Amino acid sequence: MRTSRHVERRTFLKAAGASLATVGLTAAGCGGGSGSAGGGPVTIRYAWWGADDRANRMNQAVALFEKKHPKIKVKTDFQPYVDFWKKFNTQAAGGNPPDVIQNAVTFLRKYEARNVLLDLKPQVQAGNLSTDNFRAGLEKFAEIDGKLLGLPVGSNSMGYIIDEKVYEKAGVTPEFGWTWDDWYAGLQKIKSRTGVAGDSGPHSIMYYYDLKLRQQGKAFFTENGLGFQESDLEAEWTEAMKRIRSGIYTDPKKAEQIKPKAATAGALSAGEFTWDNFTVRYAAEGKSSYGIAPIPTTDGKKTGQYLGSLMLSGTARTKHPKEVATFINFMVHDPEVGRIMGYDRGVLSTTEQFEAFEPTDKVSKQISAYETKIAESGVLEPITPHPAGADVIEAAFLRLATEMSLDKASPGEAVDKLFSEAKTAFTSNA
């Protein structure tokens, strides 16, 4: 059994590496950091987003770091996703950002252009940070124009999280290669047989819409702007409103009332699109049994999926770049941190942590099996570059789709506002 497991894991590394080797990002570099502190104890600030379960795991990992590095203290701060970036924008604009942040590809070009992020390459050259033993391709995930702006902590891909008990009761079985028509027919069957909304409503999820566009040979973003037309999104959102009114999608007012809990975890829907590693969240928040279903397709083959990654980045104004590098190095390489974090932020990025974490619970096994499946099936494609301003547009997409779903704007009005705000975002970040 042990031998079989490691063969499977080596197969996953090879398959994922082959896909990730094609992932490349190009952009301008950003500013470096200031000098490190002397020999006395120092305190660095670390901020991230997530739910309570992630915070509990993170605090355990930070405590372990402080135990092994007693001369470095870490002051932590975590917020829900939207609140995190609001706070960080204020801090960055005021010249007082945290020393280390959890980061994502959506924000690299924006903060690179503003010289907010620390180039970690000098710390690699000084021996304070290692880029060895990353799963193939991941070590360059945040390399921009020769500068290293972060190190990945895990990989993930979009999946479809389902309430397995509701699906079983309705007699619906998702399978790789199912089409959007198959998916919608399943939602209708779930609603009629169980009374539960089939889906929470994917209309506000930018990455869901990106997948649908990629299946059609398009993408949400090009290198310089949006990769779709107003008419494309208006048709998508008009259909979404019909499904809300029919009860196929969750009542948005009810979904808003239980936030930050997800609608599926709150038993308001049978499924929803999100990152595969978020299955951990559903198991912690919900009372049912949850699984990861494959992404529906247009042609039964092309899913439009890619591997993404959360990462840790230093900020350029830190007074302690050496300590920042020491902390990041520990968090991405230490085996015990891998065992603590599990797959909360994705399948672990370094071989030390990947091999240290033995998935024993159902959720982690599901995540590992899902990413192994999509890597081996050859559906993974290169990630679409995110231009500067992508984060503003993602927030606008979520806000405007929510307003539309609450009948505060028509689909056409919401689309017009999105394109207007996108034009402003691209101009101001140029």
Write down the architecture of domain 158-201+249-305 according to CATH.
Answer: 3-Layer(aba) Sandwich (3.40)
Question: Cα separation of 148 and 214, whole Å?
Answer: 28
pLDDT tens-digit series, residues 176-218: 999 999 999 999 999 999 999 999 999 999 999 999 999 999 9
The tokens describing 74, both together, are 């870490």
* Per-residue pLDDT reduced to its tens digit, 219-250: 999 878 999 999 999 999 999 999 999 999 99
* Residue ranges of domains in the chain: 2-155+306-374, 158-201+249-305, 205-229+389-430
| Rounded average pLDDT over 161-183 | 97
pLDDT level of residue 175 (50, 70, 90 thresholds): very high
Q: Which two tokens stand for residue 53?
A: 């379960």
pLDDT in tens, 282-305: 988 999 999 999 999 999 999 999
152/159 Cα distance (integer angstroms): 20
Prediction pTM value: 0.74
Could you list the beta-strand ranges (E) of 276-331.
Answer: 290-293, 308-314
Which has the minimum average pLDDT: 169-173, 310-314, 342-346? 342-346
177 Rama class: left (phi>0) / alpha (psi -120 to 50) / beta? left
pLDDT at 316 over 80: yes
Structure tokens at 160: 């479809």
CA separation, residue 179 to residues 276, 294, 314 (Å)? 19, 10, 42
The residue type found at 96 is N
Residue 203 contacts residue 240 (beta carbons within 8 Å): yes
Joined together, the tokens standing for residue 233 give 């999104």
Q: What is the CATH number assigned to the segment(s) 2-155+306-374?
A: 3.40.190.10
Give the gyration radius of the chain's Cα atoms. Answer: 21
Note whether 2-155+306-374 and 158-201+249-305 share their fold: yes
Could you tell me which of 104, 140, 197 has the C-alpha nearest to residue 25? 140
Residue 143: in which H helix or E strand, if any?
strand 143-144
CA-angle at 309, arms to 88 and 74, nearest 5°: 45
Residue 27 has pLDDT above 70, yes or no: no
